[in-house]
Amino acid sequence: MAQKPSVPKGTRDFSPEEVAKRNYIIQTIKHQFGLFGFQPIETPSFENSSTLMGKYGEEGDRLIFKILNSGDFLKKVDEKVLQHKDSQGITSQISEKALRYDLTVPFARYVVQHQNEIDFPFKRYQIQPVWRADRPQKGRFREFYQCDADVVGSASLWQEIDFVQLYDAVFSDLKLNGVIIKMNNRKILSGFAEVMGAKDKLIDFTVALDKLDKIGEEKVKTEMLSKGISEASISKMQPLFELTGTNQEKLEKLGGLLSGSEEGTQGVKELQFIFNAIESIGLKSSKLDIDVTLARGLNYYTGAIFEVAAPEGVAMGSIGGGGRYDDLTGIFGLKGISGVGISFGLDRIYLVLEELGLFPESVNKGIKALFINFGEKEALYATKAIKQLRENGISAALYPDASKMKKQLNYANKSEVSFTVLVGEQEMNNNKYTLKNMISGEQESVDYSTMESILKS
RNA sequence: GUGGUUGUAGCUCAGUUGGUUAGAGCGCUGGUUUGUGGUACCAGAAGUCGCGGGUUCGAAUCCCGUCUUCCACCCCA
């Protein structure tokens, strides 16, 4: 055999079974998005580079797939840049388009571009692939789907409360119980920096704090010191490392710790409001937790921060995340529009459901009835019955060749067909169909209408 | 982007200190069974040992490069 072809690194083919399972997840998410009042939009798979570049930080720029210009693009490149082998300089001259890196920034672009046609608050959802030039790992791909729901044009905290319920509703529908919805607030993180007297170190501080459950208290402190945060500042934050108890107790401790910061206090108040409401409304199967170490890499969150962890015992990075960004559209020139949104990580949810065996068996059913092919005359007769069955909403097909029965039945077995139908000369003469149940092996000779009603049930 | 790991039949994997013709299980094809599958038995097909180079009388095996897989870091869904 010739050299086997393959797909590019970090991409995958999906078999019929996999597509069925993915569709099951997508349908569940879409259904709840609809119930919560979100409407779908779609945006192009690639955008102008200027729309994407610089929106995800330095790291993000590196991970954006750039699309080469058409034509003899090298001719137009500045001779000096070419000589110096300056990759960055050349990139901007030979590539003007780039693949979508996430759904949030294109959405912000969409809102700004269509601001006059949109009625605010605007609730949209979007389920499309995104691309990142990352190194693949388990649950990390270079092409993957995001399922986002966002609201723009409302600063109300009731949106956050709705999103917590949306997460709970989707994961309950998927029978994925025990999911942990973690919440934090950017204002609380800012408050920490303020109380510490290290406002300029906010990013370094939060990035280090984010690693707490992974590398432990000592290493987090070491990293903070190495970033130039003073020993005194860190010791002021000591209570953070001992933040335990119920959510209510955590909120009280945070309130005390941040009493000197107006912004921090505001953040605690917001969380308090959301938690009170959820406490009163109740969640079906998920758990809501305060996690002040939650920072997430994205620079644009200004209020609530969400992250969803798989149930305990499943080793998987976050299966969803989101937050509030007061000024996302500001980068495209539309100021003062607040947005908040969440995302579901389809590929990772898939891996978790697979690991826990939570896909319903029904997602992967074959056709209802396969007609065995006995030859030309019989096939024509069978095809007429098949036509009628299809018109009545029953999936049915004829085995295309008059192969041996063994082979035809084997095929039916493997494609998980529920029934096979045998129509030979005998049946044709008596106007009957021999219907064989492929699970029990039982078979009976019936007329058309009996067959139809059996297949319908 | 940094460090490590992996690649042998369609799939999962053996393969001795480098030594004739590279194996197994599952799957596939055919038969035992000309209108009865899932079980059993028998037979058969199928491999550029990821790719390229090197060392050697001789390389799946050793060395270098490259691609791929997975893992850690970075970052992230």
**A99 and A45 in contact (C-beta within 8 Å)?**
yes
Average pLDDT, chain A: 89
Chain A 55-114 contacts with nucleic strand B (CB below 7 A): 56-57, 59-60, 62-63, 102
Q: What residue is closest to B68 (Cα–C1')?
A: A9
Residue–nucleotide distance: A368 CA to B20 C1' (Å)? 56
A154 burial (CB, 10 Å; 0-12 / 13-18 / 19+) is middle
Is any atom of strand B within 7 angstroms of residue A377's beta carbon?
A: no
CA A22 remoteness from chain centre: 11
In one-letter notation, the amino acid at residue A189 is L
Give the pLDDT mean for A68-77: 80
Q: In the CATH scheme, what architecture does the domain A16-64+101-356 have?
A: 2-Layer Sandwich (3.30)
Complex ipTM: 0.83
Instruction: Give the pLDDT of residue A25.
Output: 94
- Kindly state the tokens that stand for A140: 């990390």
More reliable by pLDDT, A258 or A7: A258
Nucleotides on strand B with an atom closer than 7 A to protein CB? Answer: 1-3, 10, 28-31, 33-38, 46-48, 50-51, 67-77
What percent of chain A is predicted at pLDDT more than 90? 53
Amino acid at A219: K
Residues A273-285 have a mean pLDDT of 95
Phi and psi at A116, nearest 5°, equal -80, -15
Residue range A324-383, pLDDT digits in tens:
988 888 889 998 899 999 999 998 898 888 888 888 877 777 789 999 999 999 999 999
Round and report the angstrom distance from CA (A225) to C1' (B26). Answer: 57
Q: Give strand letter and number of the nucleotide nearest A406 (CA to C1').
A: B37
Q: Which fold has domain A366-456?
A: Rossmann fold (3.40.50)
Q: Is the pLDDT of residue A388 over 60?
A: yes
Write phi, then psi, for A399 (nearest 5 degrees).
Answer: -65, 130
Cβ of A40 near strand B (under 7 Å)? The reply is no
Measured from the Cβ of residue A275, the count of other Cβ atoms closer than 10 Å reads: 20
Instruction: Indicate the domain borders of chain A.
Output: 16-64+101-356, 366-456
User: Is A102 annotated as belonging to a binding site?
Assistant: yes
* pLDDT surpassing 70 at residue A2: no
Question: What are the backbone dihedrals phi and psi of residue A303, each rounded to the nearest 5 degrees, phi first?
Answer: -130, -120
Mean pLDDT calculated for residue range A110-127: 95
Confidence of residue A87 (pLDDT cuts 50, 70, 90): confident
Mean pLDDT throughout A420-445? 92
Concatenate the DSSP letters of all residues of A331-352 into one string: GGT--S--EEEEEEEHHHHHHH
Please check the confidence at residue A98 and state whether its pLDDT lies above 60.
Answer: yes
- How far apart CA A25 and CA A95 sit, in angstroms, is 36
pLDDT tens per residue, range A43-66: 999 999 999 998 887 788 889 999
The pLDDT of residue A231:
84
Single-letter residue type at A24: Y
pLDDT of res. A370? 95
